[in-house]
Amino acid sequence: MFKYILILFVVLTASAGDRVTGQSFATRSPVIASHGMAATSQPLATQVALDILKSGGNAIDAAIAANAMLGLVEPTGNGMGGDIFAIIWDAKTQKLYGLNGSGRSPKSLSRQWFIDKGYDKIPSHGPLPVSVPGAVDGWFMLHDKFGVKSMQEILQPAIDYAENGAPITQLIAYYWNLSVPRLSKYEGFNQQYTINGKAPKEGQLWKNPNLAKTLKIIAKEGRDAFYKGKIAHTIADYMKKQGGFLSYEDMASHHGQWVEPVSTNYRGYDVWELPPNGQGIAALQILNILEQFDVSKMKLDSAQYVHLFTEAKKLAFEDRAQFYADPDFNKIPVKQLISKSYAKKRAKLINLKRAGKSYPAGNPALEKGDTIYLTVADTFGNMVSLIQSNYRGMGSGMTPPGLGFILQDRGELFTLQENHFNTFEGGKRPFHTIIPAFITKKGHPWMSFGLMGGAMQPQGHAQIVVNMIDFGLNVQEAGDAVRIHHTGSSEPTGEHMTHGGILNLESGFSYATIRALMRMGHKIQFANGPYGGYQAIRIKDGIYWGASESRKDGQAAGY
C-alpha cells in the first residue's frame, strides 16, 4: 500500500510542474554564456546571429544579420519595408549610442488632402499610410559606424535561407494566417506572400526568392541601391499605380539620425530610452512616478501594485498623447517630462483607493528642473538593443513587384487634428511605438532589453525594470511574470481616454486581486492581451545571462 501511495505522490509532484529552483512561474532558467549571446523572437535568427559572432563578427554585425533573417521568417512583425531603432553599447568608447531609423511621410501629401477627401483619420492599410522605409538605411548606419564584417557576409545567411527555404514556426504561422484575408486584395501580396493564396502552415518550408534578390543587390551595391537605384524606382512606380504618394524623391532624400539616448535613474539604475518621435520616454515617466512609492513592499500580483502601476501608466500616456511627435517639427519638452520634480507633481493626482476615469495632460513646459525585438552581445563587450517593425503585423499590404517585402503603414499613427504636435505634415516622421531599452549601473552596462507590442511596449519596459529591481526577479523570471496591459488611454492619433480605459490582466492573477481592482473602479478584461514579446541580455561579472519570451517562438542562446 505504501508503495502505491509513494508512486501517486511522485506522479502528482511531477505533474504539478513546479520548479525546484527560482520562481514557480518561470518557464526556464536564464541562458548563461561567457563569449557571446543572442536573443531573438525566432530560433533560426538567433542561430544566424551566433554564427556571425563565432566567425569573428561583433554584436552589431550579428544584430543586422538576425534582423535580415527575421524579415524572411517573421514577416508578420518586421521587414525591409519598415523602420528601425537601436541603442548600442560600444565597448571601445564605453558609451551608449542611439539610432532613430524612422522614415518620413510623402512630401507631396498634406493634411488638407485628407480633409478635402473626407477622411477623419488616416487609413490603416493600403497606399495612404505608407512612409519611407528606414530599416535598410539603419543597417548601413550601424554597419558604417560599428561593423567589422562585410555586408555581403552579414546578409548571406538570410539570402541562403530565402533561396532554400526556412520552416515557419507556430505563432508566426498563426499571425500570417490572420493577415492574408486582409491583405490579399492588394496587388503583389498574394504573389509574394502566400503559397497558392494561403499563408504557410506551421512547419511548412517558406522561400522568398525575390527577397533574396533584393538582399543580394544591397549587399553588393550598398544602401544607395535601395534608396536611389532601381529598387527605389520600383517602389515609387508601384505606389503611384496604387494611388499612393510615396515618390522616388522621398526615397532618395531619406536619412536616419544618430540621437542621444535619454535616461532616468530608478533606485540606483540608469534606464535608457530614445527620445521622441518614439514613445520610449513613457517608460521613464512611469518609473519616475512609481519611484514615489515603496513598490518593493507590495506583491507583484497584488491589487495594490496593479492599481498603482495602472494609474502611473495613465498619467504618462496623457503626456504621450499630447507631446510625443517628430522633434524636427515641434519643441518636445523631453527633459521636463522625465524630470523627478515633474513626476512628484503628477504622482499627487493618483488616488490609491480609486481608479482615475480621466487625467489631464501635464504642463511640463512650466517645469525648470507588432514588431520584432532582438538583442546581441559579443566577446568584446559590445551590446545591441534593436527593434524593427512594419506596424500592424505585416504592414500596409503594399508589396512592390519583384522585391519580396511589404511596405509599412506607420503613417496611420499621425492625427488629422489641426495644430496637434503629431498632425500629418509632408516630410514628417510619425509618432512611433517601437522602442529599444538599456540599463546601466554606475556607468557600466547592466542589461539590454526590449518588449515589443504597440502601446504595451513602455508598459512592458517599466514592468521588467520593476520586476528585477523592486521584486528581485532574474532576467528570465522578469519576463515570465504575469503582465499588466492597460488600454484606452488618450492616443497621439487624437482619441481621448473615456471611463478610465480597460485593464487587461494576464492569466495568473488571482480572482481576489481582480475583484479588489473592480471594487476600485477598474474595468477588467482577463487574459485578453497582447502582452508583448520580451528578449533580454543581462551582464554580470563579465558573464551574459539571456532570456527570451515564453509567449512567442523565440530563443536566447550563447556560446
Q: Could you give the CA distance from residue 202 to residue 43 in angstroms, rounded to a whole number?
A: 14
β-strands 502-505, 524-526: how paired?
parallel
Q: Could you give the CA distance from residue 174 to residue 186 in angstroms, rounded to a whole number?
A: 20
Q: Could you give the CA distance from residue 363 to residue 349 in angstroms, rounded to a whole number?
A: 14
Where in the sequence numbering do the catalytic residues fall?
371
C-alpha cell at 534: 520580451
Beta bridge partners of 557: 38
Amino acid at 374: L
Q: Say if residue 220 is exposed, middle or buried (CB neighbours under 10 Å; 0-12, 13-18, 19+).
A: exposed
Q: 227 with 137: CB under 8 angstroms?
A: yes
Q: 202 with 168: CB under 8 angstroms?
A: yes
Q: Report helix, strand and coil shares of the chain as percent, to nearest 5.
A: 40, 20, 45
Cis status of the peptide bond prior to 430, with omega within 30 of 0: no
Q: Could you give the CA distance from residue 186 to residue 243 in angstroms, rounded to a whole number?
A: 12
Q: What is 509-556 written as a DSSP string?
A: B-HHHHHHHHHTTPPEEES-----EEEEEEEETTEEEEEE-TTTT-EE
How many angstroms from the chain centroid is the CA of residue 198? 27
Q: 437 with 458: CB under 8 angstroms?
A: no
C-alpha cell at 542: 563579465
- By C-alpha distance, which of 548, 517, 514 is closest to 533? 548
Q: Could you give the CA distance from residue 537 to residue 546 in angstroms, rounded to a whole number?
A: 4
Q: Say if residue 124 is exposed, middle or buried (CB neighbours under 10 Å; 0-12, 13-18, 19+).
A: middle
Q: Could you give the CA distance from residue 130 to residue 317 in angstroms, rounded to a whole number?
A: 25
Cell 493618483 belongs to: 350
C-alpha cell at 346: 503628477
C-alpha cell at 380: 568584446
Cell 536616419 belongs to: 256
